[in-house]
A and B are shown apart, each in its own frame.
Chain A
């Protein structure tokens, strides 16, 4: 939800539109309003992961990162077996203590460790892929107040013909400030 580059009228030239909220309940009202109006192309920013926000935006849909985790863990389990097994098969004369050349029990430790290692690395890759980081050059969402104490609903590229309507809707839900364009640069206190 809210990740398409523009709203419904994609062929129109867009403008950034940002509504700043000081209160969580107002933000949730804003999200509900956008959903009720079937408005698309918006993103919510918050200083912390409030479950109410994620529930309102994603309506319980789980993150696909879990598939990365599962795939990485299964791959790691197999790598953890194949690495020692193929190594031992290449050197069958190394047979300590009369144990079988390919021994599942001692390899279980390597399999366990590789499951964790590859599962974690895949989770990290999945997180980066789906959350769009690193994204240092994306300035459309830049607003230092978000990491401080404010909430926002941002349209990175709202259709110009709908800006006034969207502004009115956002102000009605309690936004303390609604701006358009890139002109509004804010600073928080440099402590």
Chain B
């Protein structure tokens, strides 16, 4: 990786920054140049993620043909790796909308370089998460039963169930995020259309929907974009709150807590920002985006992680305090077991990854060191998966009746599906970065001084 000085590059607050783009045309060419030109490194990365996806597909095929028995979930742990990973990917999807919508509404300038890739991450992460309820069904061909529609079975779902709230919350989140993402992309696709030829121009021309940058288009676009951001912003807070109610609405020890919604939302933003760092650090060097995405952006993401890590640490501590202070023996038993029982390794590893490791970023030197950013972000991603593992597995493995207690360990099929989900996500993300501008060209142009001839006309 390049040195700090080389990549600290373009900070919009600093007009004298050496790599600062000076013209609109330069921004176009810098960002478009690497597109549609596969490099050896990109092809290698694609081969890896496609291989992972194929492995996951094979594992799923085994489950479909052999039945759910090939997965490790059984009484009392009926929510295993599939639900753990579902919650993990939903959480990953949070940072994109936070960066693109909430930071847009508060006029945060550092979002500009990273929001497009973060939005793509959101859409692909939710697409990945949506696989898991379907996988967990077993009979995946009946997934459409999730949705309300008049049917000959005369069956309707229970709208009072948090699981049904979740269907609405996640499908709304996916739809709104995808619309917000595509609307933002249209002017940039038009740029790519105008810089290409032949069949590629026709394909991008169709996707650009006849965008020509007219005053009429921009006028309504800007209004609509603000409304999309205003709609998406509360979704950032609501979606993971609703996911947390999947747990908190059940009277299960370790789950039944009012702290869950803010705790889950903070965790989601924490993991999402860490994932943005993990994805964009290598992509920045691969695609030579340094003038547009650099340590200024990563440092701000690290600060977001520090804030949310503090909230999570407080929530972890408060869970224990409430379990002790409430004098509820079931609560205290489950929390004691989490820290000292069979899954204590996962608990303490989670504490290290989510509470201890991020502390190094209190040092500006570490916060602006590419290796520190990349490694700690990867540790946080592991820690956040383990957090969901702790919540889902420990409370179901040791429920109210000791006669039913049992331990859970995932089978190769579940591990295969977990790996496959990462491959599915990675495939979409790599394809996107090679075929669409993953840095928002139009918004970057807004940060470039407009061409002005001077007075006298």
Q: Are B457 and A54 in contact (CB under 8 A)?
A: no
- Chain B residues near A191 (CB-CB < 8 A): 28-29, 32-33, 195
Among B157-165, B387-395, B412-420, the one that faces the other chain is B157-165
State in angstroms the CA–CA spacing of A43 and B227 once bound together. Answer: 25
Q: Are A109 and B165 in contact (CB under 8 A)?
A: yes
State in angstroms the CA–CA spacing of A2 and B217 once bound together. Answer: 12
Known: A23-B452, A190-B197. A91 touches B215 (CB 8 A): no
Q: Are A23 and B194 in contact (CB under 8 A)?
A: no
Q: Mark B289-329, 1 if CB is under 8 A from A, else 0.
A: 00000000000000000000000000000000000000000
B227: contacting residue among A24, A66, A142, CB under 8 A: A66
State in angstroms the CA–CA spacing of A148 and B218 once bound together. Answer: 16
- Chain B residues near A94 (CB-CB < 8 A): 158
Within 8 A of B (CB), among A4-20: none
**Please, could you name 24 A-B residue pairs with CB atoms under 8 Å apart, sorted by A?**
A2-B215, A43-B214, A45-B213, A45-B215, A48-B24, A48-B442, A49-B218, A49-B221, A57-B219, A66-B227, A109-B168, A109-B169, A110-B165, A110-B168, A113-B168, A117-B171, A120-B180, A124-B183, A127-B224, A131-B214, A136-B206, A142-B212, A146-B194, A149-B25
Q: Mark B431-457, 1 if CB is under 8 A from A, else 0.
A: 000000000001001100011111101
Known: A84-B159, A120-B231, A124-B183. A26 touches B215 (CB 8 A): no
In the complex, B379 has a CB within 8 A of chain A: no
Within 8 A of B (CB), among A28-75: 29, 43-50, 53-54, 57-58, 62-63, 65-66, 69
Minimal beta-carbon separation of B98 from chain A (angstroms): 16
Q: Are A119 and B231 in contact (CB under 8 A)?
A: yes
In the complex, which residue of chain B has the Cβ closest to the Cβ of A141?
B212
Minimal beta-carbon separation of B217 from chain A (angstroms): 4
- Chain A residues near B193 (CB-CB < 8 A): 147
Which one of A22, A141, A149 has the greatest number of beta carbons of chain B within 10 Å? A149
In the complex, A159 has a CB within 8 A of chain B: no
Which one of B23, B172, B213, B231 has the greatest number of beta carbons of chain A within 10 Å? B213
In the complex, B175 has a CB within 8 A of chain A: yes
Among B49-57, B134-142, B234-242, B263-271, the one that faces the other chain is B234-242
Minimal beta-carbon separation of B188 from chain A (angstroms): 9
Minimal beta-carbon separation of A160 from chain B (angstroms): 23
Chain B interface SS verdict (over half): helix
Q: Are B222 and A120 in contact (CB under 8 A)?
A: no
Q: Are B453 and A46 in contact (CB under 8 A)?
A: no
- Chain A residues near B210 (CB-CB < 8 A): 132-138
Q: Are B160 and A103 in contact (CB under 8 A)?
A: yes
Q: Are B175 and A123 in contact (CB under 8 A)?
A: no
A48: contacting residue among B171, B227, B446, CB under 8 A: B446
State in angstroms the CA–CA spacing of A186 and B217 once bound together. Answer: 22
State in angstroms the CA–CA spacing of A88 and B164 once bound together. Answer: 14
Known: A24-B451, A48-B445. A148 touches B223 (CB 8 A): no
**A contact residues, range:** 35 or more
Q: Are A107 and B159 in contact (CB under 8 A)?
A: yes
Q: Are B179 and A124 in contact (CB under 8 A)?
A: yes
In the complex, which residue of chain A has the Cβ closest to the Cβ of B166?
A109
Q: Mark B164-187, 1 if CB is under 8 A from A, else 0.
A: 110011011001100110010011
In the complex, which residue of chain B has the Cβ closest to the Cβ of A122?
B227
B457: contacting residue among A25, A48, A127, A188, CB under 8 A: A25
Q: Are B214 and A96 in contact (CB under 8 A)?
A: no
Q: Are B191 and A147 in contact (CB under 8 A)?
A: yes
In the complex, A179 has a CB within 8 A of chain B: no
- Chain A residues near B350 (CB-CB < 8 A): none
Known: A25-B454, A84-B159, A87-B148. A123 touches B190 (CB 8 A): no
- Chain B residues near A57 (CB-CB < 8 A): 215, 219
Known: A25-B453, A126-B220. A45 touches B214 (CB 8 A): yes
In the complex, B58 has a CB within 8 A of chain A: no
Known: A25-B454, A43-B216, A113-B169. A126 touches B445 (CB 8 A): no
Q: Are B28 and A132 in contact (CB under 8 A)?
A: no
Q: Mark B276-298, 1 if CB is under 8 A from A, else 0.
A: 00000000000000000000000
